[in-house]
Amino acid sequence: MMTASLVIGLICGVFAVGLNWSVHTLRHYITELELGWSSIFIPALGAGIAVYLVRSLIRDSAAHGVSDVIKAMALGSEILRRRMIHSRFIGSLLTVGTGGSTGLEGPIVSIGGAVGSALGRWMEMNERHKKLLVGYGAAGAVAGIFNAPLTGLIFSLEIIIGEWTYLTILPTIIAAVSATEISRFIMGNKIAFYQEIAGFSITSLLACFVLGALTGVISILFARSLQLWEKIFSKISETFWIRAAIGGLTVGAMGFFMPEVLSEGYEVTQSFLTNNIRPELGFVLLFVLIKFLACGITLGSGGIGGVFAPSLVIGSGVGLAFGMFLHLLPLDGVAEDAAFALAGMAGMVAGVMHGP
């Protein structure tokens, strides 16, 4: 199992780096074109082609990523077919790279799980060991794309595998660390986010109880909104790629007026965590609302991506707005806004993923 986890980690690290680099290269190229108002059609084109390729040619279901892997852990690893490796790679590249308001973490977790499942079948392992390999793949995928081995380890053990034993902990560490080393070797030692928080007072800690409840409610609304948008788009058309194209067109129109909501949105989150010059509270609230809608439309219409990145981005906006509101009140010792942006990210992800 140790050797298998090492191989899985190395493979997942390559896929994570390849997907991350490909998406951001495509996004940068499209941005440099300066298409003006015609740019609203780019997300529609990307989502439509992605869903047509995945649904009609590759014949993959293209769910929201992490849910597929969790289902495989419950119902059997054979759910994760080898075709998911290239279908999720191509689908998320076209969806997110052209501006679809979703993230890469869901697809890369599916890719990692499919790599582990495929290796388990090739080695003719029993179902128990194949499921463990799926978990190792998820750990390697998350660690590779975030350049954070501890993130991959905790995510896999808590969300995917669901147990902390000698058979899960050490191989998962190996997979996460090996994927991270591949990422650092190819892309350098870069981290997804960095922050400059000076301190956190007792008052701020108490306020985080309120922020946690707030992000918990928003995470419930976010999850239910995805189901609502799926029902709405299923009534618009029976053809999957047409639904995705209509959703992409809607998101493209939103992005024309507020480009920050397109794609992952990590640049905005980073600015929330570090910039000394803050946007107005009204802008932050508007950004959260439009990002919330854009992500729901992207995924509800069939776009290929995950909910992890949108949860981070929305959570950062909610937390920042919460911190800005606290500073309007006559309270002493309230931490800086960025501290609450970071706490909001944690609360939103925990609520959406059901894993503190």
Question: What are the pLDDT digits (tens) for 306-322?
Answer: 888 889 999 999 999 99
Give tens-digit pLDDT for 155-212: 888 878 877 777 788 888 999 999 999 888 888 777 766 776 666 778 788 888 999 9
Whether 49 and 183 map to the same domain: the answer is: yes
Q: pLDDT tens-digit profile of 66-76?
A: 777 877 777 77
Evaluate whether residue 196 is within a structural domain: no
Considering the domain boundaries, does residue 197 fall inside one?
no
* Structural domain includes residue 262: yes
Is residue 33 domain-shared with residue 174, that is, in the same domain?
Answer: yes
87 confidence band (pLDDT: 50, 70, 90): confident
Residue 240 has pLDDT above 70, yes or no: yes
77-101 per-residue burial string, b: 16 or more CB within 10 A, e: under 16 = bebbbeebbbbbbbbbbbbbbbbbb
Domain assignment present for 15: yes
Q: Does residue 18 sit in the same domain as residue 127?
A: yes
Q: Which parts of 160-201 fold into alpha helices (H)?
A: 166-187
- Distance between terminal CA atoms of the chain? 28
Q: Is the dihedral angle over the CA atoms 280, 190, 2, 138 positive or is it negative?
A: positive
Domain contains 173 = yes
Domain end marker among 187, 219, 240: 187
Mark whether 286 and 212 lie in a shared domain. Answer: yes
Q: What is the pLDDT of residue 296?
A: 92
How confident is the model at residue 65, as a pLDDT? 65
- Within a 10 A sphere around the Cβ of 35, how many other Cβ atoms? 13
pLDDT value at 245 more than 90: yes
CA angle 137, 294, 232 (to 5 degrees): 95
Query: What is the pTM for the complete model shown?
Result: 0.87
Task: Compute how many other C-beta atoms are within 10 angstroms of the C-beta atom of residue 146.
Answer: 24
pLDDT tens-digit series, residues 3-52 = 888 989 999 999 998 998 999 899 888 888 878 888 899 999 999 999 99
Residue numbers of the domain that contains 39:
2-187
Is the predicted pLDDT of residue 356 greater than 80, yes or no? no
Same domain, 158 and 56: yes
What per-residue confidence (pLDDT) applies to 305?
87
Domain co-membership, 182 together with 206: no
Per-residue confidence (pLDDT) for residue 201, from 0 to 100: 75
Task: Report the share of the chain in percent with pLDDT over 70.
Answer: 95
Integer Cα distance of 297 and 277 in angstroms = 31
Q: How far is CA 12 from CA 17, 22, 145, 156, 224, in A?
A: 9, 15, 9, 14, 31
Residue 193 lies in a domain: no
pLDDT for 267-305, tens place per residue?
888 888 886 666 788 889 999 999 999 999 999 988 888
Residue 328's pLDDT is: 82
Angle, alpha carbons 117-104-236 (nearest 5°) = 100
Domain count within the chain:
2
Q: Are 230 and 178 in a shared domain?
A: no
Q: Which residues on neighbouring strands pair with residue 306, listed in sequence order? A: 103
Q: 162, 187, 212 — which closes off a domain? A: 187
Rounded-to-integer distance, Cα 40 and Cα 256, Å: 6
Is the domain of 235 the same as that of 171? no
User: What is the pLDDT of the chain when averaged over all its residues?
Assistant: 85
Residue 152 included in any domain: yes
Indicate whether 47 and 171 sit together in one domain.
Answer: yes
CA distances in angstroms from 33 to 27, 28, 66, 77, 245, listed in the order given: 10, 9, 33, 43, 21
Are residue 215 and residue 297 in the same domain, yes or no?
A: yes
* DSSP H or E run through 13: helix 2-33
Give the pLDDT score at 297: 93
For the domain that residue 25 is a member of, what is the CATH number?
Answer: 1.10.3080.10
